[in-house]
Chains A and B, each alone.
Chain A
Amino acid sequence: MEVPARLAAVAERLVASLGPHSVLTDPAELRTYECDGLARYAVSPGLVVLPETTEQVVETVRACRDADLPFVARGSGTGLSGGALPRSDGVLIVTSRMRRILEVDLDAECAIVEPGVINLAISREVSPAHYHYAPDPSSQQICSIGGNVAENSGGAHCLKYGFTAHHVTGLEIVTPDGDVVWLGGGKCRQSTGYDLLGVFIGSEGTLGIATKVVVRLVQTQQCVETVLAAFEDMASAGEAVSAIIAAGITPAAIEMMDALSIEAAEQAVDCRYPDGAGAVLIVELDGPADDVAAELAAVTARCEQSGAFELRRAADEYERGEIWKGRKSAFAAVGRISPDYIVQDGVIPRTALPEVLADIAALSERTGIRVANVFHAGDGNLHPLVLYDESVPGQGDAAEEVSGAILDLCIGHGGSITGEHGVGVDKAKHLPKMFTADDLDTMQLVRCAFDPAQRCNPGKVFPTPRLCGEVPRRGAAPHPAQAAGLAEAF
């Protein structure tokens, strides 16, 4: 049967079992879902299904299995690597209607939520009890927890608190075959057997669909201090970061912005960062009051020694919000100073920051493509914003090249091509620069165990997915005796 006929049959089956309001077939409605946060890639899905329960996800996945159609899961669609890019020959399973917080268990310091729950909603729910959910991607007001699981998302506070993988202790998943399986310890922080939970988190929707998520809740700290430090240039700010880390301090966050991103933020949200700043650092410390007081004194001293010409300490929650406003709005703000831009996501060892920033500046100079730098300085996660104008012939391609060259710089310094946005479709071609064919082959053994038919988000992450029936390298090497010319293989 042709793909359209199979899609139609699946639509009919799901309309019958889920109801017509959960199945979208109108081409105009389908187009709403043609891309996620990365608009450069757009594909109209063959069919969109909006399940409300695990059972409905199971029914949808089984319908795909029976019709041999691929499927892609999508949360809020805020990923920036095309990880939730639909397939025209497949089904897009949107979890946005699965947004119930099923249970909050403060004794066990955890909550069980559905995948469509918005990241920030969890913290809002438990903040009266002085708890929060720690991973806080910049898009936390809109991104879903299911998407966070798929991408192993982080945010500004990863440096101290870790990523999604550190804060999710259990997952109910629907496997590519339509079975419901629990991974991890559930409400327990440790589990028995292989850490399938750990490998599922960050697998970008290629191993199954999470339908329930057990998240750890973290007690809100006694005290928080936020300091904005202004420097004349990026080098001095970078020096301050190294000095803070060398002093044995682990801030909750250290964020850095360069002159161009400060300019953009000023234009967009009037954040009033100090005049003449070539770089700003936002350092946040949290913990018991006396610890934070000691660390604040040390951080202030290190910043001054590194050349900070102005230090602002937030006196209250309002001022803290003001300091963060510029940083949190930086991506969107860049739209004020450039018609188009690419948000890149690479990671370098922190000590390579000065060199990499100089290389990015040189790259920018050589190509005439402006690059604004905003990043999580504590963990070396860069977010260069590559600015261009699509209406200028060739500039889009040039920006793409600069963007790719920045990833090469990251790899060259022993870093990574993604710290939180994922590989998706956008960076699949870069993955072989980080990993050998054997490395990728080994990773795909996991895929073969979970999804031998390659139905689950195919074409993402890995540049050349292999069929699970093939075993290209296994046992291919000659026996050592044979290699040494001491024996022959017959």
Chain B
Amino acid sequence: MTTLDDLRAACEARAATPTDRVADVEPRFVAYPTSTDEVSRLLRAAAAHQLHVVVRGGGTKLHWGGPPSAADLILDTGKLTGVVEHAAGDLIAVIRAGTPLAEVQRVLARSGQRLPLDEMLPGATLGGVVATGAAGPLRLRHGTARDQVIGLTVVRADGVVAHSGGKVVKNVAGYDLGRLLAGSYGTLGVLTEIAVKLTPIPAARAFVRRPVRTPAEVRDLSVRLKQERLAPVALEVECPAPDGARRTATRVPGHPDLMVLLLEGPADGVAARAAKAVEVLGGDARADAEPPDWWGSYPFGPDDLALQVVTPVGQLFGPVYSMRDAARGTGIRIFCSPAAGVLHAAVPGDVDPDRAVEIVNAARTVAMSHGGHCTVLAAPPKVRPEIDLWGPVEGIGLMRAVKHEFDPAGRLAPGRFVGGI
């Protein structure tokens, strides 16, 4: 009996090919479990053969985090799909982890509902979004994935199946493993089913957009909007990379940043608020029914250096200035959520490694001076060894202890997470 035979006894499995690579690591096997039970059996087999396991959903964020120090087995959730339960009257759903988020939204929309999470990368699965804590504009009103998860089924590295939470919104029985597992990059267990709370699709939406020239202007306008209490669902700013950025150190006139406010609710209320927002923002503000084309996406592509900066609300302008300064002619593109204190930045992947380090350090230093942090979500191979991806992490000792308890042999996505976890 070969290792592959043993894996096949659990579920469909095959030998890996070069296209299954994770970062530069070549896995040996790929398996496609279709149920929690199969995941459990697969992980027991993997444990028996001491295989290191990396979970793959849509593969859209597989290059995020550190490259795994070993990845013998790719656990592909492509067949672990489907909405198990949608209780529309209770505003909850139970969904298998490998289900594409777009599919989830399509099913929920039939009942006039949605999961208030943005599909930041087309093809992302619910499990991948939860495991990486990826979030977009809606985070301002609804929080990130961890705030939507009310229950989950997880399979531990040793194959033991565990549940936490449940199918009700209000529930404080036992530890909230949903929050612990959300954003853990597949290092504590394999999510198989996730129970989430839902919201109604709003009757109306309006996007109010206004060109802006400087981060300071964004800050001033944000303060004015706040005073009006317009209850936006999202507030985003796009700072585009200027044309010819690689040739000139200055920003090119004619490429202003764009600030966009999303309002949702009853039709009359949204119309009234949109009119008010246009008035408050002044300038060339206008309301639109559709979002700008960059809305709900990341500024970076798969080959770029991808940064996430978090600061207290109202403090993002400092990191934006410092990153632009450090980037000089590099063509950095930034999407900000100033009211949530989060920005994402893209530095072209062919950037000189020294310059990349400079940009990351600039962003990190300023963010940390405000009590925030800067994470390198993804980095091109030639830049990665030069950069501390995560920066300093508070509580790392406790995090290592948690990892040790859940996965003492370090078999799940080793090296992918903070502090080499």
Contact = CB atoms under 8 A, between A and B. Distances in A.
A5 interface: no
B176 A202 contact: yes
Contact of A192 (B44, B267, B375, B398): B375
A192 B175 contact: no
B164 A439 contact: yes
Interface stretch (B83-91, B239-247, B297-305, B325-333): B83-91
A418 B172 contact: yes
Contact of A450 (B41, B154, B182, B401): B401
A290 B268 contact: yes
Residue among B41, B175, B340 with the most chain A CB within 10 A?
A: B175
Contact of A419 (B161, B171, B271, B397): B171
B269 A349 contact: no
Contact of A479 (B45, B133, B310, B375): B45
A159 B372 CA distance: 30
Contact of A288 (B6, B200, B231): B231
Interface residues on A, range: 35 or more
A154 B170 contact: yes
B179 A199 contact: yes
Contacts of A191: 310, 373, 394
Contact of B394 (A181, A222, A287): A181
Interface stretch (A39-47, A325-333, A480-488): A480-488
B406 to A, nearest CB: 6
A398 interface: no
Contact of B312 (A105, A436, A446, A447): A105
Interface stretch (A11-19, A257-265, A384-392, A409-417): A409-417
A182 B183 CA distance: 18
A135 to B, nearest CB: 12
A242 B88 CA distance: 11
B111 to A, nearest CB: 9
Contact of B162 (A110, A442, A461): A442
A414 B167 contact: yes
B201 A248 contact: yes
A190 B162 CA distance: 26
Contact of A461 (B92, B174, B176): B174
Contact of A347 (B41, B170, B267, B391): B170
A487 B401 CA distance: 35
A440 B173 CA distance: 11
Given A185-B310, A221-B231, A479-B48, A436 B395 contact: no
B106 interface: no
Contacts of A436: 162-163
Contacts of B292: none
Interface stretch (A25-33, A58-66, A229-237, A375-383): A375-383
A55 to B, nearest CB: 19
A439 B45 contact: no
A166 B312 contact: no
B312 A196 contact: no
B174 A443 contact: yes
Contacts of B229: 130, 219-222, 288
Contacts of B174: 423, 431, 434-435, 439-440, 443, 461
Given A192-B373, A442-B177, A293 B269 contact: yes
A71 interface: no
Nearest to A468: B405
A108 B171 contact: no
A358 B393 CA distance: 52
Given A188-B311, A480-B9, A196 B176 contact: no
B144 A287 contact: no
A422 B373 CA distance: 33
A194 B173 contact: no
A85 interface: no
A190 B342 contact: yes
Contact of B395 (A196, A347, A447): A196
B414 interface: no
Interface of A: 105, 107-110, 130, 151-152, 154, 158-159, 162-163, 165-166, 175, 181-183, 185-199, 201-203, 219-222, 242, 245-246, 248-250, 287-295, 298, 347-351, 376, 379-381, 414-423, 427, 431, 434-436, 438-443, 445-450, 461, 473-475, 477, 479-481, 484, 486-487
Identify the 5 closest CB pairs spanning chains A and B, nearest first: A198-B179, A291-B269, A248-B200, A442-B162, A294-B266
Given A163-B172, A420-B170, A480-B48, 13 more contacts: A109-B314, A158-B169, A182-B395, A188-B312, A222-B231, A290-B268, A290-B269, A351-B90, A416-B172, A441-B162, A446-B175, A446-B177, A481-B6
Interface of B: 1, 6, 9-10, 41, 44-45, 47-48, 87, 89-92, 112, 133, 143-144, 146-147, 154, 156, 158-164, 166-180, 182-184, 188, 199-203, 226, 229-231, 265-273, 310-315, 340-342, 371-373, 375, 390-391, 393-399, 401-406, 408, 417-419
24 contacts: A163-B172, A189-B310, A193-B399, A194-B399, A196-B395, A198-B146, A198-B178, A199-B176, A288-B231, A288-B273, A291-B269, A294-B266, A294-B268, A349-B167, A351-B90, A380-B90, A418-B171, A418-B173, A419-B172, A438-B162, A445-B405, A445-B406, A473-B158, A486-B1
